[in-house]
């Protein structure tokens, strides 16, 4: 077996870790599915419908926002969330490629 030089772009690796970490939580996946169902939804509707405390919902949305998976848009006193489908698809493709499709 040939040895290959192991090198990683640290910035890309850190961003990838943030995305996978954000996606690897059951409650965050539930929030993503809920946003996907509604396409654009405000935070009040998320925590009221899913019966999650407002502070916990905000913490999870913050992680998803920092990973670039969701986008927040202020509309007056409301903040609406949408998904970045391209980023989610890229993550899905990378994970499928890494582990092989089932």
All structural domains of the chain with their residue ranges: 26-99
> For 14-57, what is each residue's pLDDT tens digit?
888 899 999 999 999 999 999 999 999 999 999 999 999 999 99
Contact 81, 40 (CB under 8 A): yes
- The bridge status of strand 70-75 relative to strand 78-83 is antiparallel
CATH assignment of 26-99, among 2.160.10.10, 1.20.58.100, 1.10.10.10, 3.30.230.10: 1.10.10.10
Helix 54-66 with 10-23: angle, nearest 10 deg: 150
- Rounded to an integer, what distance in angstroms lies between the CA atom of residue 51 and that of residue 40? 18
DSSP SS3 for 31: helix
Which residue from 65, 31, 71 is spatially nearest to 48, judged by alpha carbons?
31
- When comparing pLDDT for 71 and 96, which is higher? 71
Strand order in the sheet with 78-83: 41-42, 78-83, 70-75
Record the pTM.
0.84
């Amino acid at each position: 077996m040939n040895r290959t030089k192991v090198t990683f772009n640290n910035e890309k690796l850190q961003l990838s870790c943030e995305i996978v970490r954000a996606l690897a939580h059951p409650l965050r996946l539930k929030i993503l599915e809920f946003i996907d169902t509604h396409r654009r939804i405000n935070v009040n509707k998320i925590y009221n419908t899913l019966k999650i405390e407002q502070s916990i919902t905000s913490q999870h949305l913050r992680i998803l926002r920092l990973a670039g998976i969701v986008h927040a848009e202020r509309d007056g006193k409301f903040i609406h969330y949408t998904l970045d489908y391209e980023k989610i698809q890229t993550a899905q493709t990378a994970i499928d490629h890494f582990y092989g499709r089932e």
